[in-house]
């Protein structure tokens, strides 16, 4: 089996593949202070909980935007399973033609997500990643990545608002009944939920205007389902698209 790992600033997501069959997903918090031994204990514990035979994992691939975690996690995976890991980065074949000024700076999670979308939706498409940051990417019909936009993530924006506004308290991420709200809690919800939806709709319009192409729009990330249902554009939610992309990248590079 193949173990895929998507290391984000907030969470680490692990996915198991038996061939092309996605069999299991595990999620835990990203901690830059953890050692490889501590990661190994977590991995071993999760495998025990979900009754996963560590010895059945013969290979691994990691996409990471947190360098401090990449190699401790790689070492932990090898300790627990014996499998060596590919690291998504320069020199690895992805099938994605990256046409930006500095291709080596493109986040591994965006590469993997776009590869997964290329395999499933072909192109052109707009890909929205909703994590610690909100990243919006454009890939054409030839699987060429042309760039995109990055905005503060929903959680960061809400934290900044409530931490710096003395009379503003944090709220749960739930859309109010109407945009013009009559109490502080719903006013914040309106700004965060509907404001984010308007930003996404507006950016999609601008991408389509600049490319002059009708695009499939895909979103991934923990907050994506809450946000896209308030958008006017039709947006497909793909929870595991980054892990799927890692599976495809592994298959292109395995000996």
237 has pLDDT over 80: yes
The length of the chain is: 255
Q: Which one of 18, 37, 97, 109 is the catalytic residue?
A: 109
Q: According to the model, what pLDDT value does residue 47 have?
A: 93
Least confident among 66-70, 161-165, 172-176, 198-202: 161-165
Annotation says 172 is catalytic = no
In whole angstroms, what is the distance from residue 156 CA to residue 183 CA?
22
Q: According to the model, what pLDDT value does residue 167 have?
A: 59
Comparing CA positions, the residue from 218, 75, 209 lying closest to residue 139 is: 218
In whole angstroms, what is the distance from residue 136 CA to residue 127 CA?
6
> Percent of the chain at pLDDT above 70?
99
Considering only residues 49 and 166, tell me which one the structure prediction assigns the higher pLDDT. 49
In whole angstroms, what is the distance from residue 110 CA to residue 219 CA?
12
Domains detected in the chain = 2-87 (3.30.420.40), 97-245 (3.30.420.40)
**What is the mean predicted confidence (pLDDT) over 90-119?**
95
**What is the mean predicted confidence (pLDDT) over 173-183?**
91
pLDDT grade for 207, boundaries at 50, 70 and 90 = very high
Note the pLDDT tens digit of each residue in 20-77. Answer: 899 999 999 999 999 999 999 999 999 999 999 999 999 999 999 999 999 999 999 9
Q: Look-up: residue for tokens 């009944």?
A: 177
In whole angstroms, what is the distance from residue 104 CA to residue 106 CA?
6
166 has pLDDT over 70: no
Is residue 70 within 8 A of residue 106, CB to CB? The reply is no
The whole model's pTM is what? 0.93
């Amino acid at each position: 089996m193949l173990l895929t790992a998507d290391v984000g600033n907030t969470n680490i997501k692990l996915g198991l593949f038996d061939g092309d069959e996605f069999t299991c997903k595990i999620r835990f918090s990203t901690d830059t202070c953890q050692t490889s031994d501590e990661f190994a204990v977590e991995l071993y514990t999760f495998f025990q909980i979900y009754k996963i035979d560590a010895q059945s994992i013969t290979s691994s691939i990691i996409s990471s935007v947190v360098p401090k975690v990449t190699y401790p996690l790689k070492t932990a995976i090898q300790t627990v399973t014996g499998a060596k890991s590919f690291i998504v980065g320069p020199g690895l074949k992805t099938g994605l033609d990256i046409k930006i000024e500095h291709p080596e700076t493109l986040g591994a999670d965006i590469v993997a997500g776009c590869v997964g979308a290329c395999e499933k939706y072909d192109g052109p498409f707009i890909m929205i990643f909703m994590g610690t940051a909100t990243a919006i990417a454009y890939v054409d019909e030839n699987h060429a990545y042309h760039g995109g936009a990055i905005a503060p993530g929903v959680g960061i924006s809400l934290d900044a608002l409530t931490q710096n506004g003395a009379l503003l308290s944090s709220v749960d991420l739930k859309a109010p009944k109407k945009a013009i709200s009559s109490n502080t809690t719903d006013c914040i919800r309106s700004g965060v939920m509907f404001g984010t939806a308007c930003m996404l709709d507006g950016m999609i319009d601008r991408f389509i205007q600049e490319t002059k192409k009708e695009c499939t729009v895909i979103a991934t990330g923990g907050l994506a389902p809450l946000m896209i249902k308030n958008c006017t554009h039709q947006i497909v939610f793909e929870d595991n698209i980054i892990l799927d992309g890692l599976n495809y990248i592994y298959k292109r590079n395995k000996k």
